[in-house]
Amino acid sequence: MPTPPTPLLYESHMHTPLCRHARGTPSDYAAVALQRNLAGIIVTCHNPMPNGYSASARMLESQWPDYLALVAASAAQFAGRLDIRLGLECDYAPGFEAFLEHQISSNPLHHVLGSVHPQVGEYRQKYFNGDPIAYQRTYFDHLAMAAETQLFDTLSHPDLVKNISPKDWQLPRVMDDIRRALDRIAKASTAMELNTSGLNKEIPEMNPGPEILREIAQRKIPMVLGADAHDPIRVADKFEEALTLLESTGHTHIHFHLNRHRHPVPIPTARASLTPLP
Ligand SMILES: [Zn+2]
Ligand SMILES: [Zn+2]
């Protein structure tokens, strides 16, 4: 058998059962990452939020020590074989800045995702006024605000709102708003994620889609790759397809974060480092 190339890439977005809608331990995800010839995984489960916000989709604040222990146990188990790091996917909405600042700065996180989740009931209740286009505009404004907080390394799945009301997703109607948001995100030097899980949603394309990816490339905003696995089998899912999409929309590099420091990898090098699942 030919020797696989040196592992290089990290899976930068994945979950644990603590969020109540994912299955498998970080070790189960790590086993798939090894098969894919990744260098490591960054566990980024949904963060605890205050006052019961979206409580059904995340760990409780009291479970935080369990999260640290879960990631540490897998990291020890895979030491010398796969690098397992602690990260977090944080919900962002205006008003949560102080809470998040404290949560993020008090923990040794390697990669912090900032997510606007327009499907969350509490968010929808506050910001949906019955007009789906206005909701899309609010979403992109909040995404830019998230970047401007400087709290996050990467903005997750940054066109997630398109699946809230797929029939109302017509890019030309909101493209100027998206461009303005991307200008602000570029100025904030925050990375954005290409999230491959979008292929399994009602609008079957990655988040974001190709038109937005082109606008991102024009602004030289760094891209991070994530499968957003809620099941071990999806670790690094469709990464090859994602790299091809990035190249075809004008991107030259993919990035990951360790110790909250950004590492660029040329796309051809990234592609060559991956092994398909048997
Ligand atoms: Zn989730
Ligand atoms: Zn998310």
Q: Quote the percentage of the chain above a pLDDT of 90.
A: 97
> For residue 226, which ligand has an atom nearest its CA?
2
What is the rounded average pLDDT for all residues in the chain? 97
CA–centroid distance, residue 89 to ligand 2 (Å): 7
CA–centroid distance, residue 234 to ligand 2 (Å): 15
* Domains present along the chain, CATH in parentheses: 10-273 (3.20.20.140)
CA–centroid distance, residue 156 to ligand 2 (Å): 6
pLDDT in tens, 12-53: 999 999 999 999 999 999 999 999 999 999 999 999 999 999
Burial of 4-18, coded b for 16+ CB within 10 Å and e otherwise, reads eeebbbbbbbbbbeb
CA–centroid distance, residue 249 to ligand 1 (Å): 27
Distance CA 215, CA 265 (A): 20
CA–centroid distance, residue 20 to ligand 1 (Å): 8
pLDDT in tens, 95-139: 999 999 999 999 999 999 999 999 999 999 999 999 999 999 999
* SS percent in the chain: helix, strand, coil, step 5: 45, 15, 35
CA–centroid distance, residue 2 to ligand 1 (Å): 37
